[in-house]
Structure 1
Amino acid sequence: MERKRDFYIVNSSELPACLIVQPIHSAGMGRLKDAGVFPVDSLDAVDPGRVVAAITRNAGFSGQQMNGLPDLKVVAVHGVGYDPVDIDTATSLGISVTNTPGSNERSVAEQAIALIFALAKQVVAADTAARTGDFAFKYSVDLMEVAGLTLGILGFGAIGRQTAAIGRALGMRVIALSSHQPDAVFERLGVVRAASLETLLRESDVVSLHLPSTPSTRNIIGREQLALMKPTSLLINTGRGSTVDEDALVNALRDGTIRGAGLDVFRSEPLDPNHPLCSLPNVILSPHLAGSTEAALRRTAIAAAECVLTVLSDKRPETLVNPQVWASRRQSILNR
């Protein structure tokens, strides 16, 4: 068996194998190998009939890919969002799909806060000014103090709650909108429950989005919603790009409807360098890296590997996103 980087080249007589669609932390691959499941980064490295699992990040996994892997039993999503995976085809073929909620929540929340500071303190422009000797920059720039601002959280799951907790620690007033979290959660975190989306948008100095991609959240922030925000407000999105109407956002940023935006996610990724967002001075962009700290990547990779091994051991994973598949799942192959 030839060793190549952190992957094994597996010949057709060896089984099983896990296709690693996009790079993951070596700790996750080590967990697979310890259990006798060999990670491969290409179908060129293994007979497709030996692939029993796949781990994917934001690339997803298509029905065509599933149909080409006759013994595939599980697709593990490295992260929370599973919308790029063809769930219907997976379910029809008896393939379990899992995700890894909770493994990167702190890192994503920290990125949301980092984007707030980058905009409030105009960090990018200030860096340029310092490098070019423009120390008069401070006399013309309009900076914001974060303490005392109202932070509005739209999407009050694990990441939203982490963001709220950090915001509170910074001295921000935090309001959030949720139809799922009980009052006790709001009270424990010291967060005010917003009566409606409109109320949250009108009251917030910073609106931070932490929503999944669903038909009901698509373009939930559009022209009408942006018009409700304060002209001094900031929009932060570390959730899903589909939740924001990007054309409406560009217009709002150009005409001063809102002060600025910090975005880690986009409707189409990678972002086209010619996209209007790339040329706006009141926007801070990051390439969907909020969950990519060393600590988060390690936790997420191990969690994804554990999902794979759980399914292959014929045990139902806690994070199964297509539970209806379990009664008709493909036969598993490991004894743990």
Structure 2
Amino acid sequence: MRVTLTVLEPEGLYPDTRLEQEILGPGVRILQGNAKASLAELPESLLAEVDGLMTLRMAVPAEQIARFPRLKVVVRMGVGYDRVDRAACAARGILVANVPDYGTMEVAEFAVLLALSLRRGLLLYHDTQRGEAPAPWAVLPSPLHRRQEVQRFGILGLGRIGSAAALRAKALGYQVVFHDPYQPNGWDRALGIARARTLDELLAQSDVLSIHCPLTRTTRGLIGERELRLLPRNAVVVNTARGPILDIDALERCLRDGHIAGAGLDVIPEEPPREPLPSLLRAYRAREPWLTGRLAITPHIAFHTPEAWDDIRRKSIETMRDVLVDGLRSNVIPPESD
């Protein structure tokens, strides 16, 4: 069969393209690049042939979209799609799709794990027992430590991951409440959890706040100092979604004055972090005593298992096949969804 379409995976993620070719079929060729940081590293001659673009870590800004004269589909190989300039794509009629159903269990479990490790003292005792002058072999008083059954676990964003986190928190004994203005009525009853009508209502009752909404124009900076101070005193904040949703400087102020007892962050505003570092990250790296047992930061790895990586690969190319080859709307993100 004559090749009529070309799909580019610019980051060279895999040792071969056999799986991609098998799924796309003989009428489509799959090309790999070797760009490590930016699409700008790739030559115009290559981009001129591309109908479909698949990216994992790489941003797809407007100035790079303009270099693809034939581009029809961009597949973001993950859940979040904030790295793609969707307005620039929409102006050209380019469809943008994501892979919303990979790593769901992993991220949900990691979010609950972060909360538990803070609330049950794992981090505190780990930090104190490895010091040069270890803490006493005894219970340490801390406002962090609470029984699950007396706490409300607040879910901000009840999509696939938020729903999975809600079920896991519920199974561990938490009372679970969520807020999601886009989730239809009835979903809360199906999961057996409570619904908060407004964000403020959710915050006011969340002993643990776990963030699971996408990063969009409306969610950027959604949780600032006002919102953090609506949480009950000694609450815990967990973010496994996107760093810019949470004001990290406001979080530091609320941790320093004790309003927030602890936080678990798998995401931060700029990844990887660069100088000048946020003040909270500097304090964390310096192991300042006031943060002992109160803060965990991981490098955006909540999704990571070998099985999740396999899902990313297969589901991404299946989405590309559906949209580019078969003309379906699988996982296509509408431009107006922000």
The CA deviation string for residues 111-155 of structure 1, in whole angstroms up to 9 with x for no partner, is 101111221234344334444583725432533333432101111
In the alignment, structure 2 segments of 5+ residues that lack a partner are 35-41, 285-290
Cα distance change, pair 147–215 in 1 and its aligned pair in 2 (3 A):
same
**Correspondence for 1:8:** none
- Structure 2 counterpart of 1:208, which letter? S
Contact 2:87 2:335 in 1 (8 A): no
Quick one: which of 211, 227, 235 aligns to 1:233? 235
Quick one: which of 265, 272, 280 aligns to 1:277? 280
**Correspondence for 2:125:** 126
Contact 1:237 1:263 in 2 (8 A): yes
In 2, Cα distance between equivalents of 1:208 and 1:216: 18
Contact 2:118 2:124 in 1 (8 A): no
Contact 1:73 1:311 in 2 (8 A): no
Matched, 1:302 2:314: yes
In 1, Cα distance between equivalents of 2:130 and 2:234: 28
The CA deviation string for residues 271-301 of structure 1, in whole angstroms up to 9 with x for no partner, is 2373222224222111111222222222122
**Correspondence for 2:19:** 31
Matched, 1:253 2:255: yes
In the alignment, structure 1 segments of 5+ residues that lack a partner are 1-13, 325-336
Give SS of 2:84's match: coil
In 2, Cα distance between equivalents of 1:185 and 1:16: 40
Within 5 Å, give how 1:4-83 maps onto structure 2.
Answer: 17-22=6-11, 24=13, 29-34=17-22, 35-36=25-26, 37-42=29-34, 43=42, 47-83=46-82
**Correspondence for 1:315:** 327
Instruction: Report the count of equivalent residues.
Output: 310
Contact 1:63 1:86 in 2 (8 A): yes
**Correspondence for 2:116:** 117
The CA deviation string for residues 25-46 of structure 1, in whole angstroms up to 9 with x for no partner, is 679x443122353241333697
Structure 1 consecutive aligned stretches of length 4 or more whose deviation exceeds 6 Å:
none
**Correspondence for 2:182:** 180
In 2, Cα distance between equivalents of 1:103 and 1:87: 21
Give SS of 2:8's match: strand
| Cα drift, residue 16 of structure 1 | 5.5
- Structure 2 counterpart of 1:140, which letter? L
Contact 2:236 2:263 in 1 (8 A): yes
The CA deviation string for residues 204-248 of structure 1, in whole angstroms up to 9 with x for no partner, is 110111111222222221111111112211011111222212221
Cα distance change, pair 23–249 in 1 and its aligned pair in 2 (3 A):
farther
Cα distance change, pair 128–180 in 1 and its aligned pair in 2 (3 A):
closer
The CA deviation string for residues 157-182 of structure 1, in whole angstroms up to 9 with x for no partner, is 11111110000100110011123334
Quick one: which of 211, 214, 217 aligns to 2:213? 211
**Correspondence for 1:289:** 301
Q: State, as a whole percentage, how many aligned pairs show the same letter.
A: 31
- Structure 1 counterpart of 2:19, which letter? R
Cα distance change, pair 106–145 in 1 and its aligned pair in 2 (3 A):
same
Contact 1:24 1:301 in 2 (8 A): no
In 1, Cα distance between equivalents of 2:46 and 2:182: 45
**Correspondence for 2:95:** 96
Give SS of 1:310's match: helix
Cα distance change, pair 311–185 in 1 and its aligned pair in 2 (3 A):
closer
In 2, Cα distance between equivalents of 1:137 and 1:54: 56
Cα distance change, pair 138–74 in 1 and its aligned pair in 2 (3 A):
farther
Higher alpha-carbon deviation: 154-163 or 64-73: 64-73
Give SS of 1:50's match: coil
Give SS of 2:59's match: coil
In 2, Cα distance between equivalents of 1:132 and 1:93: 57
| Cα drift, residue 319 of structure 1 | 1.2
In 2, Cα distance between equivalents of 1:88 and 1:231: 40
In 2, Cα distance between equivalents of 1:296 and 1:25: 14
Give SS of 1:140's match: coil
Contact 1:100 1:300 in 2 (8 A): yes
**Correspondence for 1:140:** 140
In 1, Cα distance between equivalents of 2:279 and 2:270: 13
- Structure 1 counterpart of 2:209, which letter? V
Q: Which has the higher contact order (CA 8 A, sep 6+)?
A: 1
Give SS of 1:176's match: strand
Provide the TM-score with structure 2 as the length reference.
0.82
Quick one: which of 144, 158, 161 aligns to 1:159? 161
Provide the TM-score with structure 1 as the length reference.
0.82
